[in-house]
């Protein structure tokens, strides 16, 4: 049974995420403890609310350093909702720019849609070869957000030695990044813990990648 830490930095549906990951078959701990987060087989970074508030909370427990340290060692991390957004270079909300973790280049900004927030079930367009979405073609997932990354700016490795990231898209007004699989770093803009059987299947898929 894989040992998973849900990073507690004062944001996110911690207990919902804990229950969902446990039901998927993992041994789950909710904590901000650095040693536990670094030792876990997988780290889940949830997030709800404003980008700036999430980054402030994350930095208060050195979560940005924990994420960076894990990824430097090839250790898996899964971001959820704003926990995905803070992995990008910056977020812009109400005219205020906040620096993110900068694991991926790009900006998180307001959705260009007639109705915001984007709240409810939506399909996604996953690429061939996706491990997260294996067996989930045509399924819907639950979104609650007003902001997203609406472009993908990370170029592929020209040498071909590093596999290109797999980017999943969704549409609400225009296209936005719904999920990313980039080596040990994965993330979803939607909430798998609120996405019923499809979300549970996705979490099991992620756990299966933690060799």
The pLDDT value given to residue 81: 97
Q: In the structure encoding, which two tokens stand for residue 91, read together?
A: 């977020």
Residues acting as catalytic residues: 81, 191, 193
Reported confidence tier of residue 158, pLDDT bands at 50, 70, 90: low
**Interaxial angle between packed helices 14-23 and 196-208, expressed in degrees from 0 to 180 and rounded to the nearest 10:** 70
Check whether 89 has a pLDDT greater than 80: yes
Which residues, at least 6 apart from 164, have a Cβ–Cβ distance to it below 8 Å? 156, 157
Which residues, at least 6 apart from 21, have a Cβ–Cβ distance to it below 8 Å? 4, 6, 28, 44, 193, 203, 207
- The 10s digit of each residue's pLDDT in 35-87 is 999 999 999 999 999 999 999 999 999 999 999 999 999 999 999 999 999 99
Say how far apart CA 89 and CA 96 lie, in whole Å: 14
Handedness of CA 163, 41, 142, 110 (dihedral sign): negative
Q: In the structure encoding, which two tokens stand for residue 82, read together?
A: 């704003």
Whether the Cβ atoms of residue 200 and residue 17 lie closer than 8 Å to each other: no
The pLDDT value given to residue 104: 97
Say how far apart CA 136 and CA 108 lie, in whole Å: 26
Beta strands in the chain (DSSP E): 3-7, 27-31, 42-45, 77-80, 88-93, 96-99, 104-110, 118-123, 140-145, 147-149, 166-172, 174-182, 185-188
Q: For the chain, give me the number of helices (H) and strands (E)? A: 6, 13
- The 10s digit of each residue's pLDDT in 188-207 is 999 999 999 999 999 999 99
Rounded average pLDDT over 112-124: 97
Check whether 108 has a pLDDT greater than 80: yes
Q: Which residue has the tokens 């250790």?
A: 75
Q: In the structure encoding, which two tokens stand for residue 157, read together?
A: 């490795």
Check whether 92 has a pLDDT greater than 70: yes
Helix, strand, coil share of the chain (percent; to 5)? 25, 35, 40
Q: With CA atoms as reference, report the closest residue to 204 among 156, 134, 155.
A: 134
Q: In the structure encoding, which two tokens stand for residue 25, read together?
A: 């078959």
Domains in the chain, CATH or no CATH each: 3-208 (3.40.50.880)
**What single-letter DSSP state applies at residue 21?**
H
pTM given for the model: 0.96
Rounded average pLDDT over 104-111: 97
Reported confidence tier of residue 187, pLDDT bands at 50, 70, 90: very high
């Amino acid at each position: 049974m894989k040992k998973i830490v849900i990073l507690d930095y004062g944001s996110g549906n911690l207990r919902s995420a804990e229950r969902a990951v446990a039901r998927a078959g993992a041994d789950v701990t909710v904590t901000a403890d650095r040693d536990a987060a670094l030792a876990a087989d997988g780290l889940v970074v949830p997030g709800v609310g404003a980008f700036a508030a999430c980054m402030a909370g994350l930095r208060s427990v050195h979560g940005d350093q924990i994420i960076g340290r894990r990824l430097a060692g090839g250790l898996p991390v899964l971001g959820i909702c704003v926990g995905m957004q803070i992995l990008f270079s910056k977020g812009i909300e109400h005219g205020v720019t906040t620096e993110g973790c900068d694991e991926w280049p790009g900006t998180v900004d307001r959705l260009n849609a007639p109705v915001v927030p984007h709240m409810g079930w939506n399909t996604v367009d996953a690429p061939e070869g996706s491990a997260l979405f294996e067996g989930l073609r045509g399924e819907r997932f639950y979104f609650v957000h007003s902001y997203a990354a609406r472009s993908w700016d990370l170029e592929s490795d020209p040498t071909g030695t590093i596999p290109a990231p797999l980017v999943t898209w969704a549409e609400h007004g225009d296209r936005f990044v719904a999920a990313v699989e980039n080596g040990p770093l994965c993330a979803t803009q939607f909430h798998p813990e609120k996405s019923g059987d499809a979300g549970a299947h996705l979490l099991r898929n992620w756990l299966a990648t933690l060799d």
